[in-house]
Every structure is written in C-alpha cells, then in structure tokens.
Structure 1
Amino acid sequence: MTDAARGRDPHWAAARRRIEQGDHLCGPDGPRPRRRKAIFTRLLDLFAWGLKRTPLYRRGVHNALDLRRTEFEVAIPGLPPAFDGYRILHVSDTHLDVLPDLVPAAHRLLDGVEVDLLAVTGDVHGDHHAPVAASAGHLVAALRGVLVDGPRLAILGNHDSEAMADTLERLGFDVLINRSIVIERGRDRLGITGLDDVNSFYTEAARRALDGSSEACRIALIHSAEMADHAAEAGYALYLAGHTHGGQICLPGGRPVFSTLTRCHHGAVGLWRHGTMTGYTNSGLGVAYPPVRFNCRGEVAIITLRGVA
C-alpha cells in the first residue's frame, strides 16, 4: 500500500530517515546535538554495569514485571453523547524486546478486557539490535486477549524507526503519522489526531496536523507531553502520551529522577492539565535499558470518557 493510500505524507519517510541518520535530534524548540543523548546512554550503560553486580538488579527486574492496570474516568467538555462511557485502552512504551518476560505478564493482565479503542502511543521498539518485526510481534502477543470493538491506533516514539510504521500497519494497526481520523457513532463524531514523535523527530508537519483537525471534540495521541501547550491552544480535550516511563527509576514516593522531557515538564507522569485540556502520561508497560524499575510500576491504562453535565 502506498503512503498516499494510507493517508500518509509521501515525503514523510525520507524526512524521517534524514533525521534518524543525522547529527541532530529535533524537538518543538529546535535541533539539539545527538551527542548529548550518546553521553546519557553511556552513563546509563555504566550504571547498569554496576547495578548488575548487586542484589538490587534482580529486585529491579522483578519490579519491572509487576504490572498494574490503571482504570479511571475523564470528564470531557463537549463530549458527544454517544461517546459517554467510551473505553480506551492506552498502552505505551512497550519495549518488549528489552524484557520479553513482560509478554506473558501483560497477556495475563489484559486477557478478556473489552474496550472501544486501542491506542498505542509509541516506542514499540527498545533494543536497537532487535528486529523491528520481532518487537512488533511481541506487542501483538501481549495484546492478543484484548477485545477491541473499534479502531486499533498506533503512533511512533523516539525509539521507533521509520520502518516500524509499515510493520504495525501489516499487523492490523492504523498508524497515525501527522494525521487525523474521525470515529462516528450515529451522528456523533470524535476526532483523533496522531503525531510522529516530537521529542526527537519533530517537523512542522506535526504542528500543521495538530492545528488542522476541525472536529469539535478531539483527542491527541503524541508520544511525549512536549506538545501539551500547542494542543491545548488548538482546543484538544484529551492528550495521551508516554515516553517518560513514569521515571522508571524514581525516588520514594514515585518522584522521577529524570523525566527525559525537553519542555512541558508538568506532563511527566500521570494525570495533568494544561488549561482546559486533560492529559495523561502513561508510565509505560515496558522498560528501557537497564530493565529495572524502582518506586514506579509499569502499567496499562483503561480510560473511560464521560460527558460534562
């Protein structure tokens, strides 16, 4: 299937590959040298090397496998009546190639769950040495027991290469790359806009897509919270993100040591607001390397939309 048939900008793939292969990463506030990320990655490698030589490593892996299912309701101003009670399964940052033992754990947690919409907000890939198809296959295996009455949507994260889009499409996902769709229930309509990753691969096409949706009630699927101010200004009601893993390694009380956000830091974890817009930053199902969690559980979220009386 061509990019045009998918509703995808035919120039997107080439532009994405240029950034992937270039010396700079791109966010909403402009480019930043890739070497900064390389230094941070090296420090993480050294931390992991030391951690593996302590009993804390095994405990951290055990913590990473202790998933939770978070369920809550969100009041949405202007929600069309037909969508009151609409259930969204929000999954993010699966990284199942980093810790494959999460696949059966996630399956047990989600087997038999019924929702109206599945939204995967990026970072299906984790280990850059693992095949993209294997990472996506792990995701499908983890979600195989979920019953989805409507669309299965996905966006890309900063760990996902351009090739992940086609891989997820072949597995039955509608991958939103700087474009919007409309879900209809009778005469009622709900708009959903999905962007390419804005932490590392931002282009002005993302901002145009965010501003281009004209539905009265809209949801944004964006890998990180770094477009929260722009989405609120554009009139979105709900913003679903991931990227931060909730910190993954947190201080007691769940306070992240690092958020990995370059802006909109108030959207680092959990529920937050920006103006009249509600946001939720999922702590992620999976983990980045090292595959441990402390004071921060991995999760999937089931979000029920409610109208405001």
Structure 2
Amino acid sequence: MFSALLEVFGRTLQLTPLYRRGLRNALDLRLTEFEVALARLPAAFDGYRILHVSDTHLDSLPALAGVAKRMLDGVEVDLLVLTGDVHGLARHPAALSVELLAHALSGMVVRDRRLATLGNHDAVDMPAALQSLGFETLVNRSVVLTRNGHSIRVTGLDDVHAFYTPQARAALEAEAEGFRIALVHSPEMADHAAAAGYGFYLCGHTHGGQICLPGGKIVFSQLVRCRHAASGLWREGNMVGYTSTGLGVASPPVRFNTRGEAAFITLRCSRS
C-alpha cells in the first residue's frame, strides 16, 4: 500500500516544478565530517578514520555517481564501510548499481579494509558483485581489525528490516572481548547491540526521511522500532550510533529538507 502511494505521489510530482527542485536537492551531496569519542576504544585506534556510505541506490539516479566521485576524489581513510542498499530498482540489473558505485569510489584511498552489509534492496548475488570492488560482505558474522598490536571486532548483519532471521541476533550477541562495532542496514537492532556491549553502531535505511518537513522533521522513517535513531548521531545506553541519510534516493528520486551524504568519521578515545 505504501509503495503504491509513493508511486502515485511520484507521478504527480513529476507534473509540477517541485520535481526539478527535488531532483537538484538529491544531487546536492555533502561529506559530513565529525569525530566521535568512544569509551573503551583501544588507544591504537585513536584517530582511526572511517568513511561510512549507505543506501547508494545509484541505478535510481545514475548522475549521483559523478557527483559522489567528485566529492570523494582524494579522500583517504583507514576503513570504508557500506551499510546496504547498493541496489535500487528491481527492474535494473545489480551490475549497473555496482558499476556506478565503482566509479563513485574510484578516487578514494582505503588503507585498511572495505566492509559491507546487505540491505533490503540487495539480492543474494550482491556479495559476489561487491567482491569485485574489494569489499568483504559480512552476513551475520564478524571480522577483526588489528592496529599496532591491538584489535577491534566488527560484526555485520544481514538486513533485519525485511530479511530477519535468528542468525542475525545470534551473531550480534556472540560472546567476544574488546571493543566492537556493529554494521547493520537498519537502526532497528540498536537496543540489542547496546545490550550486547557494542561501542559503536553504523547504519542507514531511512534516507533521513528523504522528503521531510521544514527543519528536517522526518515524516516517514520506515522504522518499526528504535525510531529515535532515524537520522544522525544518537545514543542507546552506553553505545554511540550514527544513521546515515544515505548517498542515494528511492523513487521518486527527489529530496526535500534533507541532504544525501557520505560520513567521514574519526574515532577518538573517550576521556571520560
């Protein structure tokens, strides 16, 4: 029902001058840069740089790939993370989305690893397609990052908004020592991650509302739970989280009162 309403809205919008403005807004990307202080972060990871990209949907608006490339050319990070929804429209081949993503990221320098999780628009062949770009897709499993003899664990879940299975919860709650980061397409596992002792949580899915009221007030987040984590920085217990507004857009390919982004995040050890 919601998808049908969106389609009607999109077709109607195309008949008005607002559509062209919304399209320009969607192409107005920003690189959001900030530092985040994290308790129990190993000292060796103080200053560790992450580029967080989510909801690229580049097949829905291919012109975004060129805009993103110009924004990201020359950017150097330690870790590149992609939190799902590389693909957009089911009628398009996944190869189109991956090819456009490769172009968007081609000018970056990634010194450590490239990690990805899947979103509700990503098919089962997406991990193999992303591997060609150097991404390791985490489907309900963890990897360990090491730096100067210290380590942190990164756990990535399969999409839990549309494809939830008990394996996701089990992977999130598996016992492990040390600092942990969760990569999940949706914020909807934030409370479980915080209870399991994670220190940082990166996600997307909401597009920051995509079409918001003035002041950025979100009308539809598509979240069933953890709605306080719909956009930007937030806290859940002792855990810090960040929900990206997304690089791309869903149909209709417009934005109002919110901007698409990639987030350049520098980790810092909390002094408190």
Task: State yes or no: 1:157 paired with 2:119.
Answer: yes
What is the correspondence of 1:232-243 to structure 2 with a 5 Å cutoff? Answer: 232-243=194-205
For residue 182 of structure 1, give the secondary structure of its aligned residue in structure 2: strand
Name 1:146's counterpart in structure 2: 108
Task: State the secondary structure of the residue aligned to 1:220.
Answer: strand
Q: Higher relative contact order at CA 8 Å, sep ≥6: structure 1 or structure 2?
A: 2
SS at match of 1:136: helix
1:195 aligns with 2:134: no
Q: Secondary structure at the match of 1:151?
A: strand
Alignment CA distance shift 1:275-1:110 (3 Å): same
- Structure 1: gaps of 5 or more residues: 1-38
1:137 positional shift: 1.2
Q: Give 1:77-96 correspondences, 5 Å limit.
A: 77-96=39-58
- 1:140 CA displacement: 1.1
What secondary structure does 1:192 align onto?
A: strand
**SS state at 2:112 partner:** coil
Query: 2-side partners of 1:254 and 1:167: how far apart?
Result: 34
Q: Pick one of 291, 296, 306 that aligns with 2:253.
A: 291
**Residue of structure 2 equivalent to 1:45:** 7
Task: Give the match's secondary structure for 1:108.
Answer: helix
Does the 8 Å CA contact 2:127/2:136 hold for their aligned counterparts?
no
In structure 2, what residue type is equivalent to 1:258? F
Normalised by the size of structure 1, how large is the TM-score? 0.87
Aligned to 1:227: 189
Q: 1:113 aligns with which of 75, 80, 83?
A: 75
Cross-structure match for 1:65: 27
Q: Output the amino acid matched with 1:71.
A: E
Q: 1:132: how far off?
A: 0.7
- Give the residue type in structure 2 aligned to 1:192: V
Cα deviation digits, residues 259-286 of structure 1 (max 9, x gap): 0001000110100000010010000000
**Structure 2 unmatched ranges of 5 or more:** none
Aligned pair partner of 2:65 in 91, 97, 103: 103
CA distance in 2, matches of 1:142, 1:250: 26
**Contact 1:182 1:189 survives alignment (8 Å):** yes
1:185 maps to which of 132, 147, 150: 147
Which of 226, 229, 232 is matched with 1:264 structurally? 226
CA RMSD of aligned residues (A): 0.7
Q: Percent identity?
A: 63
Could you tell me how far 1:215 is from its partner in structure 2? 3.2
SS at match of 1:172: coil
User: Could you give the per-residue CA deviations for residues 67-91 of structure 1, whole angstroms, max 9, x where no partner exists?
Assistant: 0110011111111111000000000
> 1:256 is paired with a residue of what secondary structure?
coil
Deviation of 1:212 after TM superposition, in Å, equals: 1.3
Instruction: Tell me which amino acid in the other structure corresponds to 2:116.
Output: A
1:59 and 1:299 mapped to 2: Cα distance?
Answer: 18
The Cα offsets for residues 190-234 of structure 1, whole Å up to 9 and x where unpaired, read as 110000000000100001100115131000000000000000000
Q: Is the 8 A contact 1:189 1:215 kept in 2?
A: no
Q: Distance in 2 between matches of 1:198 and 1:241?
A: 11
Aligned length: 271
- Partner AA of 1:68 in structure 2: R
Q: Is the CA contact 1:193–1:213 (under 8 Å) kept in the aligned structure 2?
A: no
Q: Which residue is 1:11 aligned to?
A: none
Output the amino acid matched with 2:267. L
Structure 1 window deviating more from structure 2 (166-175 vs 115-124): it is 166-175
One-letter identity of the residue aligned with 2:253: P
Q: Is the 8 A contact 1:191 1:213 kept in 2?
A: no
Partner letter of residue 256 of structure 2? F
For the residues of structure 1 that align with 2:126 and 2:177, how far apart are their CA atoms? 28
> Which whole-Å CA distance do the structure 1 matches of 2:41 and 2:133 have between them?
31
C-alpha contact 1:180 1:213 (8 A) present in aligned 2: no
